[in-house]
Amino acid sequence: MTDKKLWAGRFNQPTDAFVEAFTASVEFDQRLADYDIQGSIAHATMLAKQGMLSEKERDAIIGGLERIRQRIANGDFPWSVALEDVHMNIEAVLTEDIGDAGKKLHTGRSRNDQVATDVRLWLRDEIAAIQAEIRRFQLALVELAEREADTILPGFTHLQTAQPVTFGHHMLAWFEMLQRDHGRFEDCARRMNQCPLGAAALAGTTYPIDREYSAELLGFDAPCANSLDAVSDRDFAIEFSAAASILMMHLSRMSEELIIWSSAQFGFITLSDSFCTGSSIMPQKKNPDVPELVRGKSGRVFGHLMGLLTLMKSQPLAYNKDNQEDKEPLFDTVDNLKGCLKVFADMVPEITCNAEAMRQAALKGFATATDLADYLVRKGIPFRDAHEVVGKAVALCVQRNCDLADLSLEELRAFSPAIGNDVFDYLTLEGSVAARNHTGGTAPEQVRKAIARARGLLA
């Protein structure tokens, strides 16, 4: 295969060897090869339909591209840095294989609309794969929530004990985060699904192409409406990275909770040995390396979003070489996002809950104080007065180092004569969670209804 540049006619001197390597992208954009071939097959099909290729030339091009696809799959394709990128490497080998017909493939298009098409085709498939992993993770959460629908967990605000909740309810909060993430990727894929092919370098082409037909062949909803925007738009990459960053933020928050809950100081859960590592010096250690690494990778993905925004912020229309720098952060974001989702979907089903440790923790910090205030309100006491009454009762408990449920009825009635024998039904952890029996509440009955709804969404 010759390494002669396909654009070399204008130049009298060869490219400097360092510049050649510095400007080449083939080492990382060759992962777009299959999508480049898809786009080229659609383009050749359209050119033949419009009479710019004969059927024989079209068939030769498609046959040659399919052979190249197989060579790449077999690992025996001769990638060349001198040919700069995935597109020119494929075209050079195609022309060497089938002759002049290969030179006609680029009629009516440019590398500018070609790469914009390739990246959209690639990212469309990657979004579908990411959404599938989100669904797998959500299913794992639903099954864990069902298993632990009645398990009492201290709910926190400010990382201080606030009110008791159920572990199942907490898992379904994570489910809702992921449901929004799934929707963001759905929106991104829908907006992205327009075809740049035919925009050529920036202004369209003088050839009688059929852009609607090309878009249809590639499964796009329509051609991009403006040729300048088609080749220079990277909003879809930024939007994807923003959705990825939000998802990674969610995974990082989940990681933080798993790390805290699995610590000796909390002991709420046990992570499977398969997702932990030991220490080289401390034999007792079992480190939650997987959630720690996911938490760390969130910063990496956030950085790629900032990098893409900075890449685009000063670019005049239309295409600029800067845009070559969009691929590595985008590829890395996809790879890390898929990896983090996979490991969470695999790890969550193997979590073991320590229900007794959670229950004992929920008994600390006066988790049912709000329930006592609500009880007094139902007895006709204004909420602000009830709040003060309970605050005084808590102060006594702090002095005695006991819980509200440990006070006698006489001691409680000293703070308010409205308190009756039924008060202890509301001061238990089970009574507290059961009382929040409304849509979105933590009552086990509502958790099971929410699980049924979640299963419906997944179906």
Q: What is the pLDDT of residues 341-358, one digit of tens each?
A: 999 999 999 999 999 999
pLDDT surpassing 60 at residue 339: yes
pLDDT category of residue 7 using cuts at 50, 70 and 90 = very low
Instruction: Compute the average pLDDT of residues 260-275.
Output: 95
Instruction: Compute the average pLDDT of residues 274-296.
Output: 89
Q: What's this model's pTM, rounded to 2 decimal places?
A: 0.92
Ordered structural domains, the chain, with CATH: 8-107 (1.10.275.10), 112-149+166-204+219-359 (1.20.200.10), 363-458 (1.10.40.30)
pLDDT score of 385: 95
Annotation says 214 is catalytic: no
Annotation says 438 is catalytic: no
With 0-12 / 13-18 / 19 or more C-beta atoms within 10 angstroms meaning exposed / middle / buried, residue 341 is: buried
pLDDT surpassing 60 at residue 360: yes
Measure the CA–CA gap between 196 and 116, rounded to whole angstroms: 6
pLDDT surpassing 90 at residue 15: no
Query: Catalytic: which of 40, 43, 110, 158?
Result: 158
Q: What is the mean pLDDT of the chain?
A: 94
Measure the CA–CA gap between 353 and 214, rounded to whole angstroms: 54
Give the CA count within 13 Å in the CB-facing half-sphere of 369.
22
The answer to whether residues 24 and 86 touch, using CB atoms and an 8 Å cutoff, is: no
pLDDT surpassing 60 at residue 5: no
Query: Catalytic: which of 182, 232, 250, 279?
Result: 279
pLDDT surpassing 70 at residue 267: yes
CB atoms within 10 A of CB 212: 14
pLDDT category of residue 12 using cuts at 50, 70 and 90 = low
Q: What is the pLDDT of residues 59-74, one digit of tens each?
A: 999 999 999 999 999 9
Q: What is the pLDDT of residues 127-164, one digit of tens each?
A: 999 999 999 999 999 999 999 999 999 999 999 999 99
* Structure-block tokens of residue 365: 């910090």
Instruction: Compute the average pLDDT of residues 404-425.
Output: 93
pLDDT score of 303: 98
Instruction: Compute the average pLDDT of residues 25-47.
Output: 95
Residue 436 to residues 164, 364, 374, 424, 445, Cα–Cα distance (Å): 10, 20, 11, 16, 9
